[in-house]
Structure 1
């Protein structure tokens, strides 16, 4: 039963968003090079760097600092719009998904904690 209590819906949802965001950002690199005429020497390290950061932060979500970095990554993804204007839109979509996953995940965690506390109290009686 304690295994079920340790599962974090917020972590799972936020990690899923970051993983999908990493894929989308990595796929934006050819767009930056081909359509936006950004030099590969700029597009590759910036685009793939943000994509890699998304994956690394997804693995860091066991600590609260990982969520802070996740918020920062949303700003970085939107800022990629400077290189490829479509990223303003795509970054905003992922920021919205991140915010929803984060907020909904926190709500679920609070409700689960209350339910487990009530269950424990009923078991003790």
Structure 2
């Protein structure tokens, strides 16, 4: 196999004399994002928020439930003035739940999530079985917020301890 075949089509257009210079290594693909170009081997990964991941998961699942709830209420109450309102409000609330996923890293996003939980429980006044669903999602939301924050704190403590250890033992890595 020749040298051109091992490099593959990823590095087409690269000057062979550029190999080894920062950002022009032969293993890098030809097209990279800004974050990919800035990355270097051994660079620590940016920590992701577990609370944001957990709460976003709950909100997306709630959005599906809200869509199906709206469709069910539309079908059950077809022909009444309530039907389009029930569908419209539940679809709007589902959209808010999905859009709130972008805000869960901030306190306002968590408050919006709590409001969605209250409205989901309140939907039991329209359909009594939604009380079970609302309470279940409320508990899931509470767990995602509290346990996610606890795991995030533990991850920060672990990263700080690892950084201190790396400073104390520079030749161990």
Verify: 1:82 aligned to 2:106, yes or no.
no
Q: Secondary structure at the match of 1:59?
A: coil
Q: Which aligned runs of 4 or more in structure 1 are off by greater than 4 angstroms?
A: none
Q: Is the 8 A contact 1:15 1:61 kept in 2?
A: yes
Aligned to 2:13: none
Whether 1:22 aligns to 2:40 is no
Q: What TM-score comes out, normalization by structure 1 length?
A: 0.89
Structure 2 SS opposite 1:93: helix
> 2: distance between equivalents of 1:72 and 1:3?
34
Whole-angstrom distance in 2 between the partners of 1:33 and 1:12: 32
Q: Which is higher, the Rg of structure 1 or of structure 2?
A: 2
Residue 35 of structure 1, CA deviation: 3.4
Deviations 1:11-50 (A, max 9, x none): 0111011001000111011222333666222211211121
Moved more, 35-44 or 93-102: 35-44
* Equivalent position to 1:3, from 25, 29, 45: 45
- Which structure has more relative contact order (CA 8 Å, sep 6+)? It is 1
- Report the count of equivalent residues: 124
Counterpart secondary structure, 1:3: coil
CA RMSD of aligned residues (A): 1.7
- Comparing 99-108 and 39-48, the one that deviates more: 39-48
Q: Please list every run of 5 or more consecutive structure 1 residues that lacks an aligned counterpart in the other structure.
A: none
C-alpha distance after superposition, 1:86-121 (max 9, x if no partner)? 222111111111111111101110110110111111
